[in-house]
Amino acid sequence: MAGHKKKDSRDPWERQTGEEGKAWYLFVEYRDADPWDRSLSKLAEKHDFPIENIKRMAQNRSWKKRAQAWDDKIDQRKRRGTLVAVEKMKERQKTLGVNMQKIGGIELNKLAKIIQENPSDPKLSAKMIVKIIQEGANLERLNMDEPTSINKEKGELKIVWEEQHADSDTDSDS
């Protein structure tokens, strides 16, 4: 609507035009209460006001609707914060996965050289080094939202996203 202006640009959880003193502070207390415990009767009892007066204020100023808008805003902020934290975690884990692969590659090259020079002196078995490289690749792939494996079984394609768990087993070949 061109040229049409909102009467009041305030968010519903903010003080509204004409909302004065006690009514505002009672609304704030109601709004900020735990949504599971929010109650007009508890508010009336706490402040020793007649419940009818509290109900009238709440109805005239749409407390329930305004408090719900506040709850929605808080939930939106929390979800946004969680998404940002998850993205940061994924970036850290992708970097970790790439570094694990690099370390595994370096160690595999060192092991190959050691074995050539002295076949009886490897510090890590080839199997353990390959496991480090695989886990690094899986960690990187998971955090890029890619499957950890793609298997063809009986003509069907099976894509697997595996959960990563710390493996406390030691290598039996060492």
pLDDT tens figures, 28-65: 999 999 988 899 999 999 999 999 999 999 999 999 99
The confidence score (pLDDT) of residue 7 equals: 60
**Res 56: pLDDT:** 93
Same domain? For 52 and 105 the reply is no
Termini Cα distance of the chain: 75
Residue 95 maps to a domain? yes
pLDDT on residue 48: 93
Domain region containing 101:
88-160
The answer on pLDDT for 168 being more than 70 is no
pLDDT of residue 119: 67
Continuous segment of H or E residues that includes residue 152: strand 149-153
- Report whether 46 contacts 57 (CB < 8 A): no
Q: What is the pLDDT of residue 30?
A: 92
Asked whether residue 67 is domain-assigned, the answer is no
Domain boundary among 42, 61, 80: 61
pLDDT score of 17: 85
Domain presence at residue 114: yes
- Indicate if 93 and 35 belong to the same structural domain: no
Taking residues 129-147, report their average pLDDT: 78
Going by C-alpha positions, the residue among 160, 156, 105, 170 that lies closest to residue 133 is 105
Comparing 5-9, 46-50, 111-115, which segment has the lowest mean pLDDT?
A: 5-9
Give the span between the Cα atoms of 27 and 68, in whole angstroms.
Answer: 12
The residue assigned the tokens 């009238």 is 56
Tell whether the model's pLDDT for residue 167 goes beyond 70.
no
pLDDT of residue 166: 45
Domain count across the chain: 2
Has this prediction a pTM greater than 0.75? Answer: no
pLDDT tier at 8, thresholds 50, 70, 90: low
